[in-house]
Every structure is written in C-alpha cells, then in structure tokens.
Structure 1
Amino acid sequence: MKTLAIIPARGGSKRLPGKNTKRFLGVPLIAWSIRFARRQQRFDEVIVSTDAEEIADASRAEGVDVPYLRPAALASDTATSAAVVLDILARERRIGNTFDLVALLQPTSPVREPSRWTEAFAYIDRDVTDAVIGVAPAHPHPNYAFHWEQGGKLRSFADGKQITLRSQDLPPVVYVAGNMYLIRSTVLEAHGGFFPPRTVGVLCDQPCEAVDIDTEADWVAAEALAKHYGKSP
C-alpha cells in the first residue's frame, strides 16, 4: 500500500510565534518530524504543508517537498487538519498521484518511537481497522475531575460515578496524544475526519512521546524531557 506522509506546519502560531522553525535542542522543530518521516520505509512520499515561506525554506533544506504554499482558507485558526490533508490528496490526484494511506505527523510532537508506527501499519495490514491514532495514559484520571460551577460548587465530571482515591482501582483511560495519525485515504475522504468508526489506538507511554507544544511552558518541558532522555532528531 502506498503511503503519503504529511507534516502540517502553519506559520501563524499566536501562543508561541515562530515555533516550527525555532530550534529544539539545536535543530528547527519541524526538522524533527521531517527527519523521522524520511527514515520510514513505509512512507512513499513526504510533503510539508505550510503557508509560510520561512517554514517552506526550512523544510526544503531538510530535503522534503513543499509543492505549494497552503491557501489562506486553510491557514486560519479554524482550518482543520483533515481539510488540509483532503486538499493535498485532491491536488496530488490531479497530477496523477494516488495513495492508499495517509500518515499525519504533527511537528508539535517532535519525539517519536518507530515501533509505534510499525504497530500502526500492522493493524492496517491485517485489515482490522481503517485508522490508527497515538494515545497516551490520561493523567490526572478524569474521575478526579470536576465541573467548577457558580459559587465554587463542584460536580463530578465522570457522570456521577463514585470518586476512587486509589488510582490502581481506576479503569484505564487514554487521550489523543496528537503524535500519530494513520488512515486509509478513501475512508478519510468519505468520513471527513481521522476518527472513523473502525479506529484503534497505539499506546505511546514514553515520557517524550505525548508532548504537544503549544505554549512556552510546553516547549520548556518538552525540551527538558528530550534532553534528559537523550533524544535526537
């Protein structure tokens, strides 16, 4: 099956301006995802989608294709990743390129474990799913969360379920890590999103994997973790 890897990198970050070209442990943040993608044998083509010339230049310097700058309609705060990917698939089809699978690599999750992608492709190859996403253990557990209402009143977020103080007694809960998406192209086009009915999760439970850099605090924490665990692009 032919796979297109897409790295979406919008230039208009408001909470952390210029983050995609900012140096993460000495290397532009976007280069971490590009270098990872270029090493994966299952990725037949790698494309960076961006609206910013600076990001495009940094991507080309890493040897990856930036065939066009993203149109303004797909570079706003409200534009979805699915819309960006569907636009790329349509453009590629018009020039005769078709793909069975799409892999989405968010550059804000710079550290990845290759074994997670091996597991994801194994699910697809066995035809037991249409989409695979990276997930991580939820912490704190949602059973410990509350709606904070008027007057400081607390209402259990977990639908009134009894709050358990022993964490080992709680059922396992995961959240979308944001670091890995793999989906059949036809399913994405039909469903319009990365979470069709037949979706499975691959657990990404290493400390560096599930970071999602949106703020300066996120950056500091992610960089400290990557440095501590000796990660490199």
Structure 2
Amino acid sequence: MSDAPRVLAIVPARGGSKGLPGKNIRPLLGKPLIGWSLDAARASRYITDVAVSSDDPEILSVAQGLGAHMSLTRPPELARDESSSMDVVLQVLDVLPAYDWVVLLQPTSPLRTGADIDAALERCWTTGAPACVSVSPAAESPWWMFGIDVSGRLASFLPPAQRPTRRQDLPELYSLNGAVYAARVDWLRQSRSFLAEETVAVVMPTARAVDIDTLEDFQQAEYLLNQRGTVLPP
C-alpha cells in the first residue's frame, strides 16, 4: 500500500563488550549473534529497512556479510560506555530521516521473532499509542524483596502491611525484556525516550525474552534455541 507507514529497524551493536567480549558477532548455533536480530527484522511484515549502527569495523563487516546493506559507522562520542541507546537511535534517524516509525532491536535478544516485532507495531496502530515496548512476566515480585539495614535486619522494599501472604495473591507484574522498542519518529524526537505515560506494552513469553550479557545468558539462549528446534539453512 502506498500509504503504509515507513518503518526503520535499528540494530545497535557497539564493540568492546566487557561482560562477554565479542558477543555481538559471537556464533550462536552457527550464526553471529547479530544475525538473529537481522533475520527477525526481515521476517517482520512491516519493517521497510534495517540499519546497523556500530563503532566496530568488524561488526559492520559481519553485518554486511549477513545482508545488512545499511551499515552506519557510529561517531566516537556515541560509542562510549556512558553513551545511551537513545542518542544512537536519534543519530541514525538524523542520517536516515525518511521514516514514520522506528523499531530498536538490540542484538542481545536473539530469540525475539518477526511476529514479536509486528505485535508491538500493531499494538501502537490499534490503540493509537505513539510507542510500545516488549515486556515479560516478572521473575520475582518486589513485594517479597528486602533491603538490609546497617544492623543486618531486613527492611521491606514495599509497605509490609500491603504484602500478600500467598504467592497466588501477588499482583501480576511485568518487566522490560529489551527485545522490542517501537515508536513514531516525530513523537520519539520530542520525548527522547520510548517510555512515557502514552507507552503501551506487548507481552512476550519468558522463553523468548533472554537478554544476553554474560556467558551464562549466551548458553541459556543456545539451550532455548535448541529446544525450539531451530534448523539452520545449509
């Protein structure tokens, strides 16, 4: 359709990971980690183009070999430890301004699918919301979390009088899983965040919500992908 929104997917892949060196191009079941996000973007029914942003020439070379033709060298000031993903997104949108919507796909979420991306965009379009983020059921409830004071005694994080006594009575809570961030471009330029009062959520199952930061996370992703019966092309 000629009036269909133009949607840009951005895959940010900075070099120099400390938790798991080289993780963005580390082979996961025979495919560089970044390739799983590129494949998910290509599987989306709505994404128009995909751009990879990186400060690392090797990552850009690998991404290009995987078919990422829009590979952008990230400015040095956006490749520091303190640089934010939002600054990277806005810089890419300055370079590539002809899009109505943007989707941020972190390469550390390899189990996210094209259907997950589409669900986030559809949630925006059906509700009229300017942004949507993916969440998963929270693994632990803050109602049963505590701090420890200077004398070693437990200090309840939330009001103890309101704490449910049974697990089945706990309120249903969700946490950001980092897999999909979608927003209307003009709104994002003003808000400078995917998270605002207008933001809606799309729920992803925990089995697709792995966010890789450590070797243990990587191994968990390998296990879950094997359990899913992933078949790589020859």
TM-score by length of 1: 0.92
Find the aligned partners of 1:68 and 1:203 in 2 and give their Cα distance: 31
Question: d(CA) in 2 for partners of 1:226 and 1:152?
Answer: 42
CA change 1:21–1:165 in 2 (3 A) is same
Matches within 5 A, 1:186-201: 186-201=186-201
Aligned to 2:225: 226
Give the CA deviation at 1:161: 4.5
In structure 2, the residue matched to 1:205 is 205
Asked if the contact 2:8/2:99 (under 8 Å) is kept, the reply is yes
CA distance in 2, matches of 1:33, 1:67: 14
Distance 2:15 2:149 in 1: 37
Given residue 29 of structure 2, which amino acid in structure 1 is its aligned partner?
Answer: L
Find out whether 1:7 has 2:6 as its counterpart: no
1:61 equivalent in alignment to 2:57: no
1:156 is matched by which residue type in structure 2? S
Separation in 2, partners of 1:161, 1:110: 41
Equivalent residue runs for 1:138-149 within 5 Å: 138-149=138-149
- 1:75 and 2:75 are equivalent in the alignment: no
Aligned counterpart, 1:27: 31
1:53, 1:225 → 2: CA distance?
Answer: 30
After TM superposition, give the deviation of residue 168 of structure 1 in Å: 1.3
Unpaired segments ≥5 residues, structure 1: none
Please report how far the alpha carbon of residue 41 of structure 1 lies from its aligned counterpart in structure 2 after TM superposition.
2.6
State the Cα distance separating 1:43 from its structure 2 match.
Answer: 0.7
Runs (5+) with no aligned partner, structure 2: none
Matched, 1:17 2:26: no
Does the C-alpha gap of structure 1 residues 232 and 201 become closer, same or farther in structure 2, counting only changes over 3 Å? Answer: farther
Q: What's the RMSD between the two structures over aligned residues?
A: 1.6
- 1:41 equivalent among 36, 42, 45: 45
Pair 1:101–1:191, CA change in 2 (3 A)? same
Q: Calculate the TM-score normalised by the size of structure 2.
A: 0.92
Q: CA deviation at 1:219?
A: 1.2
Query: Identity over aligned residues, as a percent?
Result: 38
State the 1:50 CA deviation: 0.5
Moved more, 139-148 or 11-20: 139-148
The number of residue pairs the alignment matches comes to 228
